[in-house]
Structure 1
Amino acid sequence: MSTVDLTGQVALVTGGAGGIGSAVARRLTKLGARVAVLDLDAAGAQRIASEVGGIAIAGDVTDPETMPAVVAQVEKELGRLDVVHLNAGIGGGQAGIDDALNVDRYRKLVGVNVDHVVYGLCAAVPALRRQGGGKIVITASLAGIAAMPADPLYTLTKHAVVGYARAAGKAVAKDNITVTALCPGFVDTLLLGGAKEEFAAAGFPLLTPDDIAEALQTVLGEGAPGEAWIMQPGGQASVYQFRGVPGAGGKVPPDVVLGSH
């Protein structure tokens, strides 16, 4: 595990009221950071913020106005922003493979797992630029690298997040901003729901939120722009190697934004 000193720095954690988010808020505080805890659960955010000596912010991360307002509040109250953990996430909760698709639930899934990441990164980058750089870690999943047939829609959102982190990481590296994706296996949080008993019955090991907080510390210390880091029970966080991906003959493509067609 990397040695990381965040003394004097400020961190923002989304989905910080429980699970991975609360464990990360505690870890970042131990590393010296002042932490802003954002969650839709206002009481939960306040509980964790009070515990770590940070600030609590209640907000809906699917609303495009939330993340810019949150970043502005963090800068106003804590003076700066250096580390952002875009962690809020939900499960698919449906197959998404036939005409039984529940569109409202699908839109909520995409709103939390994908839109929030885009809104959060776009709001955070200008603040990090003002500090001369910083770190953004996005909670993805092994489902962002490999298919998870039990939840195709969740797989879709996490593949999107990993791709976004890989591309955005390269795009903002010139600003001394490091964007990485953290892709854990199954973690013992409320996201598992009733499946936790099935894992236990099968003797399948689960990661703990503290495992992910430790992995995040490693990523903060060692992560390079655009990397995806994986974490499995009993192992250490490590960089995932994307093999066999077609390249461009070593050439760097033009810095253009593609339009629709």
Structure 2
Amino acid sequence: MRIDGQIAVVTGGGQGIGRAICRALAANGARVMVSDLDPAAAARVAAEIGGAAQVCDVTDPDQIAALVKATEDQLGPVDIWISNAGFARGEPGGAASASDAHWQASWDVHVMAHLRAARLLIPGMQARGHGALVNVASAAGLLCQIGDAAYSATKHAAVSLAQSLAITHGDKGIHVAVVCPLFVATPLLGYDDDAPENTPNDRVILPADVAQALIDGLEQDRFLILPHPEAGAYFQRRAADTDRWIKGMSALRRTVDNAVGDADDLTAIHRHI
């Protein structure tokens, strides 16, 4: 699909990958609604790119509905919805250790927020014969992120939901995509959002790289967008021999444990992989 002239919404647009996506969309001619929990961050990005800003807690269905309406009122019907808001907190002591509240928040942010937006947007997109629903998931949704089982499980669910939406609505003019990067230099992993270039290895890419991969993927009508191409090879290896994959990931976890003493500290994990 073309980007120029489209109206886009980006959740979690005030920093990190979301901010980079907002910039890339605007640079390619889209009119952008920047949404974030932080009103000042959303306003700064909107001012920079000539867009609009709206506070939204994506765990609240009413606020999602308000975001859709604000976009329609200020910019027009939504052509591209990008669910980028997300979080990862690690876990205190292994895959079953995080609280129910942690799991529920992961579910609400990574899965239900996108579903609730899709429910509101699909009728209008189908009537107009075009639209895009994009979820910035993670390679954790294809593989497995050691150190936060709730993150991995809900990112897997996000990818599965996107597949269902694509199967159901793809032939009605609605393009569905998931973006699945590995490690990205963002505040989520302890990087300064305004100076993320000092990365520990070449597998950590910049938010702008993810944004450009998203733009390219949309223009090429791809479902699976991989800012790290190697994630596709890992995904195939996992599918080809899952038992071997699990043994390998268990070995990786032991390596990280030995190196940093805590494989549930996500910032420490990514610096030793």
Q: Which range, TM-score by smaller chain?
A: 0.7 to 0.9
SS in 2 for 1:231: coil
Output one character per residue of 1:96-155: Cα deviation in whole Å (capped at 9) or x when no partner: 633x43222222222211221211222222232343211111101111011222222111
Q: Which residue of 1 aligns with 2:24?
A: 27
Q: Which residue of 2 aligns with 1:136?
A: 133
TM-score scaled to structure 1, two decimals?
Answer: 0.80
Q: State the AA in 2 paired with 1:101.
A: A
Q: State the AA in 2 paired with 1:163.
A: S
Q: State the AA in 1 paired with 2:95.
A: I
More helix by share: 2
Q: Which residue of 1 aligns with 2:49?
A: 52
Shift of 1:212: 0.5
Looking at structure 2, the residues matched to 215 and 200 of structure 1 have their Cα atoms a distance apart, in angstroms, of 19
What residue ranges of structure 1 are gaps of 5+ in the alignment? 245-261
Q: Which residue of 2 aligns with 1:217?
A: 215
Which residues in structure 2 correspond to 1:1-261 (within 5 Å)? Answer: 5-94=2-91, 97-98=95-96, 100-193=97-190, 203=201, 205-224=203-222, 227-232=223-228, 235=229
Looking at structure 1, the residues matched to 239 and 230 of structure 2 have their Cα atoms a distance apart, in angstroms, of 20
Looking at structure 2, the residues matched to 185 and 209 of structure 1 have their Cα atoms a distance apart, in angstroms, of 11
Q: State the AA in 1 paired with 2:177.
A: T
The answer on whether the counterparts of 2:90 and 2:147 sit within 8 Å (CA) in structure 1 is no
Identity of aligned residues (%): 35
Q: Which residue of 2 aligns with 1:259?
A: none
Shift of 1:243: 6.2
CA gap 1:236/1:93 in 2 versus in 1, 3 angstroms: closer
What residue ranges of structure 2 are gaps of 5+ in the alignment? 192-197, 241-273
Q: State the AA in 2 paired with 1:209.
A: P
Shift of 1:69: 1.9
Output one character per residue of 1:171-221: Cα deviation in whole Å (capped at 9) or x when no partner: 111320011111001111111138xxxx955x4630110000100011111
C-alpha RMSD of matched pairs (Å): 2.6
Q: State the AA in 2 paired with 1:180.
A: A
The answer on whether the counterparts of 2:214 and 2:225 sit within 8 Å (CA) in structure 1 is no
SS in 1 for 2:180: strand
Indicate the larger mover: 142-151 or 31-40.
142-151
Looking at structure 1, the residues matched to 214 and 183 of structure 2 have their Cα atoms a distance apart, in angstroms, of 16
The answer on whether the counterparts of 2:6 and 2:31 sit within 8 Å (CA) in structure 1 is yes
Structure 1 segments, 4+ long, off by >6 Å, are: 236-244
Q: State the AA in 2 paired with 1:230.
A: L
Shift of 1:41: 0.7
Shift of 1:91: 0.6
Looking at structure 2, the residues matched to 119 and 96 of structure 1 have their Cα atoms a distance apart, in angstroms, of 31
TM-score scaled to structure 2, two decimals?
Answer: 0.77
Q: State the AA in 2 paired with 1:65.
A: D
Looking at structure 1, the residues matched to 185 and 15 of structure 2 have their Cα atoms a distance apart, in angstroms, of 11
